[in-house]
Amino acid sequence: MPAALSLLQQRHSAPSRQLGEPAPDEATLRALLEAAIRVPDHGKLVPFRLIRLHGDAKLRFGEQLSAIAIRNNPELSEAKYEKERLRYTFAPLVIVVIASLQADSKIPEIEQKLCAGNVAYNLLLGAYALGFGAQWLTGWAAYNREVASILKLTENEHVIGFVHMGTPQIEVPDRDRPALADVFSTWTS
């Protein structure tokens, strides 16, 4: 079996809380990002961009998100507040994948979002191929306009996901997958 197909058959997400150092070094990260942006892009719009969160910035980001969370829900428990504050600190690297939608384009927004989603998935595949672990997460922060403002997103930009990356600190078991017969059919008319 070709190595690329084997990679696809083995790929799985590693929980962000189980990702530690090392993350990809600068040269490896650059190569990974260059590969990740090679996605189908109808109209060559490049409807995506990437933001790196690393080092102390991850905690500062989480602190700003936890402030939003408590403002939106003053009854938020201390445990949930702390979860929000620390959410981005476990993996050594987080790449925020942004959909930059061009509303005046003839290319439907769904295609532009799928293009950005492919970037996120390529990050997962590439990280796995390089021996790293990764997990694509969204959560409330991906859909919140105050968070978008913190990330300095424009009105036409949306978070597709937060891709947490690092080295798995545990053996990650695979999860159950659907049987092909349950999801594949042939149209006959």
The percentage of the chain sitting over the pLDDT mark of 90, rounded to a whole number, equals 94
Does 72 fall in a domain? no
Does 98 fall in a domain? yes
CATH number of 102's domain: 3.40.109.10
pLDDT for position 182: 97
Does 129 fall in a domain? yes
Does 44 fall in a domain? yes
Distance between CA atoms of 120 and 124, rounded to whole angstroms? 7
Number of domains comprising the chain = 1
Per-residue pLDDT of the chain (189 residues; tens, 9 = 90+): 888 898 899 999 999 999 999 999 999 999 999 999 999 999 999 999 999 999 999 999 999 999 999 999 999 999 999 999 999 999 999 999 999 999 999 999 999 999 999 999 999 999 999 999 999 999 999 999 999 999 999 999 999 999 999 999 999 888 999 999 999 999 999
Does 70 fall in a domain? no
Does 45 fall in a domain? yes
The percentage of the chain sitting over the pLDDT mark of 70, rounded to a whole number, equals 100
pLDDT for position 108: 97
Phi/psi class of residue 46: alpha, beta or left (left: φ > 0; alpha: ψ in -120 to 50)? left
Which domain does 112 fall in, by range? 13-54+90-169
Does 188 fall in a domain? no
Does 145 fall in a domain? yes
